[in-house]
């Protein structure tokens, strides 16, 4: 069996669902269920004996140690994190606690467990740490995409905390020999994406008749990766990745934010047109930019393609169509995640923007 942390969040829950579509191997899913964790994402696994859900913190080394001793997983995949840049600007404390201190305690518990394994299990064990392209900082327009050897230059409290966790993971390999794998991926999108992030926020706001807030000039570039392609990449790294190595994962889809919003509007115009016959584009408003906003991210995914044989299956056009359709068909999920906390966040993040 494997231990997954943060498996009730956006990428983690997609990973767990995809895992069981390919395998019957049990997953112990450790998640704190912060605002971003949602057991409804895993509703189809209710009463499924392959899925053991435990509510808890990766920073609780005693709990993690107990779970490891009891279930004896052959691998751990760490998705658990505070993940939203805007929230890290309003309050970095939780990012330091979970992404840095939490990862440290998780690593300590895993190291103690791993030391106690018999030789064969020890060499087969893997700790896979899921990280982000944001640790590399911001690219100029004509610079080459981020490769695995790019210097770390994180610019937000979020990316700085992820960078710190990557360094800890690296050090546990170098110093203790823990068989770690690190993946740095670009912006994911797809089902179960919490509607505080660009793509789901735009879909949800558009349908609710609300404004579509584009930060600054909307010309910031992100490299978009369909979440199920990311899940396949993680499975591939877990199986074939070389301990100690880093793999960058991207979708080869560099797009400016404004183009993303236009694409979402065009799809909604086609699939669920406005009652007044106008385009959802009418709802776009340009608002005050994010402080320290990174201008461009782009991933050079040639290493994982060349060495491990992974490639994304979706183009942005196919992936975004599936995503918009999913949100149209799952409006109950959207309503359920828009709790009181969600509304308070929207008020806090957008009220101060001109």
Q: Which residues are catalytic?
A: 133-134, 158
Q: Are 2 and 75 in contact (CB under 8 A)?
A: yes
Answer yes or no whether residue 5 interacts with ligand NAD by CB under 6 A.
yes
Pick from ligand NAD, ligand TYD, none: which does 36 bind, CB < 5 to 8 A by kind? ligand NAD
Q: Which is nearer to ligand NAD, 102 or 137 (CB)?
A: 102
Q: Which ranges constitute the DSSP H helices of the chain? A: 10-22, 61-71, 85-90, 93-95, 103-115, 119-124, 157-176, 198-207, 227-240, 257-271, 302-303, 316-329, 331-337, 340-351
* Of residues 79 and 280, the one with the C-beta less far from ligand NAD: 79
Least Cβ distance, residue 275 to ligand TYD (angstroms): 24
Q: In whole angstroms, what is the distance from residue 16 CA to residue 41 CA?
A: 10
Q: Is 181 in the site for ligand NAD (CB under 6 A)?
A: no
Q: Which residue is nearest to ligand NAD (CB)?
A: 9
**Closest distance to ligand NAD from the beta carbon of 15 (Å):** 9
Residue 33 interacts with ligand NAD (CB under 6 A): yes or no: yes
Pick the binder of ligand TYD from 34, 220, 263, 283 (CB under 6 A): 220
Dist. CA 68–CA 51, nearest whole Å: 15
184 vs 220 by CB, closer to ligand TYD: 220
Of 129 and 283, which has the nearer Cβ to ligand NAD?
129
Contact present, 287 and 349 (Cβ < 8 Å)? no
Pairing of strands 246-249, 180-185: parallel
The answer to the question of residue 213 lying near ligand TYD (CB under 6 A) is yes
| Residue 195 interacts with, from ligand NAD, ligand TYD, none (CB under 5-8 Å by kind) | none
Q: How many CB atoms lie within 10 A of CB 93?
A: 10
The answer to the question of residue 31 lying near ligand NAD (CB under 6 A) is yes
Give the binding-site size for ligand NAD (rule: CB under 6 A).
31
By the rule CB under 6 A, 6 interacts with ligand NAD: yes
Binding to ligand TYD by residue 257, rule CB under 6 A?
A: yes
Q: What is the DSSP string of 88-122?
A: HHH-THHHIIIIIIIHHHHHHHHHHHHHTS-HHHH
Distance CA 327, CA 189 (A): 12
How far is CA 297 from its chain centroid? 15
For ligand TYD, give the closer residue by CB, 32 or 296: 296
Residue 103 contacts ligand NAD per CB under 6 A = no
User: How many CB atoms lie under 10 A from the CB of residue 325?
Assistant: 14
Which of positions 178-207 make contact with ligand TYD (CB under 6 A)? 187, 197-198, 201
Q: Which is nearer to ligand NAD, 57 or 294 (CB)?
A: 57
319 binds ligand NAD (CB under 6 A): no
By the rule CB under 6 A, 187 interacts with ligand NAD: yes
34 CA to centre of own chain: 14
Token readout for 142 is: 């004509």
From the centroid of its chain, how far is CA 116? 31
Confirm or reject binding of residue 180 to ligand NAD (CB under 6 A). no
Residue numbers at the binding site for ligand TYD (CB under 6 A) = 85, 187, 197-198, 201, 213-215, 220, 222, 257, 290
């Amino acid at each position: 069996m494997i231990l997954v942390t943060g498996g009730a969040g956006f990428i983690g829950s997609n990973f767990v669902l995809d895992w069981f579509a390919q395998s019957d191997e049990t997953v112990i899913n450790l998640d704190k269920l912060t605002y971003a964790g949602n057991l409804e994402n895993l509703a189809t696994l209710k009463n499924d004996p392959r899925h053991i859900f435990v509510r808890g913190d990766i920073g609780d080394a005693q709990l993690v140690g107990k779970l490891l001793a009891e279930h004896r997983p052959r691998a751990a995949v760490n998705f658990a994190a505070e993940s939203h840049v805007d929230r890290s600007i309003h309050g970095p404390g939780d990012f330091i606690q979970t992404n840095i201190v939490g990862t440290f305690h998780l690593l300590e518990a895993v190291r103690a467990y791993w030391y106690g394994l018999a030789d064969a299990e020890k060499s087969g064990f893997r700790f896979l740490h899921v990280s982000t392209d944001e640790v590399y900082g911001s690219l100029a327009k004509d610079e080459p995409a981020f490769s695995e050897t790019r210097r770390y230059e994180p610019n937000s409290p979020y990316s700085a905390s992820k960078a710190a966790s990557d360094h800890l993971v690296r050090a546990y390999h170098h110093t203790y020999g823990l068989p770690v794998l690190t993946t740095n991926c670009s912006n994911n999108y797809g089902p179960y994406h919490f509607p505080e992030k660009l793509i789901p926020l735009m879909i949800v706001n558009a349908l609710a008749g609300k404004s579509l807030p584009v930060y600054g000039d909307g010309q910031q570039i992100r490299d978009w990766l369909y979440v199920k392609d990311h899940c396949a990449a993680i499975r591939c790294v877990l199986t074939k990745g070389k301990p100690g190595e880093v793999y960058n994962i991207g979708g080869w889809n560099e797009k400016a934010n404004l183009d993303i919003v236009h694409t979402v509007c065009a799809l909604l115009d086609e699939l669920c047109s406005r009652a007044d016959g106008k385009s959802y584009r009418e709802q776009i408003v340009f608002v005050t930019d994010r402080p320290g906003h990174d201008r461009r991210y782009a991933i050079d995914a040639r290493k994982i393609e060349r060495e491990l044989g992974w490639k994304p299956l979706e183009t942005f056009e196919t992936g975004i169509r599936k995503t918009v359709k999913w949100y149209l068909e799952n409006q109950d999920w959207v309503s359920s995640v828009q709790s009181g906390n969600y509304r308070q966040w929207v008020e806090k993040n957008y009220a101060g923007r001109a």
